[in-house]
Structure 1
Amino acid sequence: MFTHITAAALLALTTQAPAASMHQVQLSPALSQQSKALVRCSAAFALISYGQDIGNEAALKWPVLETRGKEFFVRALAQLMDETGLDREGISALVGAEAQRLTDAGETEKVMPACLIMLDGSGL
């Protein structure tokens, strides 16, 4: 269920983000390197988890992310909300934009090793 909801949300955000969200994202304070990594890995985990759910061969080579990836995603977004003061819509726009960037640049597979290290380091 996580993968369907997350993928649908990311797809909706990357195809048409509400004007208020985009404005809010542009006004958000600069993110720390750690927060940028949280956004990047949250987006990567959502994309890979969705790919695993639909049987994408490239996504299936990674560890199953349904449970751990979901928990990482939830905790990371809560932390980002606290750090930036953005609401769910604003944070979703950040993650959606990063998911689109990873997809367009073909970098999802490239960031996964570092993201898996971050996931292991989180204790989840």
Structure 2
Amino acid sequence: MLTAILSAAMALQAAPAAPAPLPEPAPLSQDNRALLRCASAFALVARAQTQGEAEAKGWPDLTVRGREFFVRALAQLMDETGRDRVAIAALANSEAQALAASGDVPRIMPSCLLMLEAAKL
């Protein structure tokens, strides 16, 4: 009899609710997009400088300062948007590919260098 009552009570219990979906990450603000763009540009130039590419030598050495900017920028983007490291890395990779394909790095570097100076790196 007790078994029948327990079985009936268990049947009446509601099934566990499905976990709530994770909230969508905040969209990138204009400032965040500029930060991502410059961080990606610095990564491209730093890599080109390391590889000895002549065009990249026309810019200030970014192998240390640019890399530090990149790391800090991506950490800031994670904090401000709620995205994880994998998602931010994917955004940076996509941005770097777009910059390389468009050839926009020389056009945006002057403003990015101002951003680098403002970061006091």
Give your verdict on TM over 0.5.
Answer: yes
Look up the SS of the partner of 1:66 in the other structure: coil
Partner residue of 1:31?
28
Query: Which of the two has higher C-alpha Rg?
Result: 2
Partner residue of 2:82?
85
Matches within 5 A, 1:31-110: 31-110=28-107
What RMSD in Å do the two structures reach over aligned CA positions? 1.0
> What fraction of aligned residue pairs are identical, expressed as a percent?
52
Residue from 91, 95, 109 that aligns with 1:112: 109
Paired residue total: 98
Q: Comparing both chains, which one has the higher relative contact order based on Cα–Cα distances under 8 Å and sequence gaps of 6 or more?
A: 1
Return the letter of the residue paired with 1:96.
N
CA drift of 1:66 comes to 1.3
- State the Cα deviation string for residues 54-89 of structure 1 (Å, max 9, x = none): 011111100001111111111111100001111111
More helix by share: 1
Moved beyond 3 Å, runs of 4+ = none
CA distance in 2, matches of 1:110, 1:64: 17
CA distance in 2, matches of 1:28, 1:85: 5
CA distance in 2, matches of 1:75, 1:47: 16
CA drift of 1:38 comes to 0.8
CA distance in 2, matches of 1:64, 1:92: 23
- State the Cα deviation string for residues 31-59 of structure 1 (Å, max 9, x = none): 11111111000100000000000011111
Partner residue of 2:13?
none
CA distance in 2, matches of 1:54, 1:111: 21
Gaps in structure 1 of 5+ consecutive residues: 1-26
Q: Does 1:121 align with 2:102?
A: no
